[in-house]
Amino acid sequence: MTDSRNPQAEQMGDESMARNLAHQAQAIWPQEQHLFDRYGLDGAIEVLDLGCGTGEITRRLAVRYPQARLLGIDILEENLARARQAGDAGGRVRYARGDAFALDCADASFDLVVCRHMSQAVPDFPQVLAEITRVLKPGGWLHLLSEDYAMLRFPATDPAFDPDRFWLDNAVAFLQSIGCDGRIGRHTPALLEQSGYRDIAMDYVVVDTLRVPRVTFAGIIGAWRDGYVEPLARGSGRKPGLVRADFDRMIEAIATPPNYVAWQVPIASARKPS
């Protein structure tokens, strides 16, 4: 994958992203894991975790599917090194460096492809979706978590700060500046339909201060702050100190009861026609 296809390589390989993936898994997986019941898969299936990062979800999938063989692919070797340190589930899990735009996998190889927290991070995601479709078996399932930064809701407790505008004017603007879609969550069902998928469904995991420990939720936003202040400042034309201060306001809002904060996380699922 060229730099133009991986414009967030520096942020994705940073220590803050490893922290973020751990917090996100803790916040999202307890609700997300039940969605896999829909696929009706069991036994010695083949599973691809595309954009696996540090393997947080690959490991959980190995528990969810105790007879499956799993391949975790990521473009960054430093993430894969962290993933391998956590073991290979008795030889059932393998990690490999690979390019999501040109997978080194045979056609119709996998019963299930899981792709999480990646679609907003790459330009021209439909090209990646075409590769996913190629390697899925006929009748196979795609599980696709696509972030949408306009689905974060913070209390407007400071008249001088509009948290809704923050995500649009900073995160979405930055992603647009590098050719990525910061609101791809809402665009995902249409992409799946255009790609010929069937049985398309959209579910939402709600990461909020009632369902998720405040320290975990604050950890997600804090990790974003630590990895993205400078890029968001460049994308928005603001000073880094101002972007950091806005992040700190939101972290404080999460940490302070009885404030209510919510992030709706879109998860699409669809089946490749048989």
> Where does the pLDDT of residue 2 fall: very low under 50, low under 70, confident under 90, or very high at 90 and above?
very low
16 φ, ψ to 5°?
Answer: -65, -30
User: What are the structure tokens assigned to 2, written together?
Assistant: 């060229």
Domain ranges of the chain: 3-271
Average pLDDT over residues 156-171: 93
User: Both ends of the chain: CA-CA distance in Å?
Assistant: 30
DSSP run (H or E) holding 249: helix 240-255
To the question of domain 3-271 being in CATH 3.30.40.230, the answer is no
Reported as half-sphere exposure (CB side, CA atoms, 13 A), residue 38 has a value of 20
Tens-place pLDDT, residues 174-209? 999 999 999 999 999 999 999 999 999 999 999 999
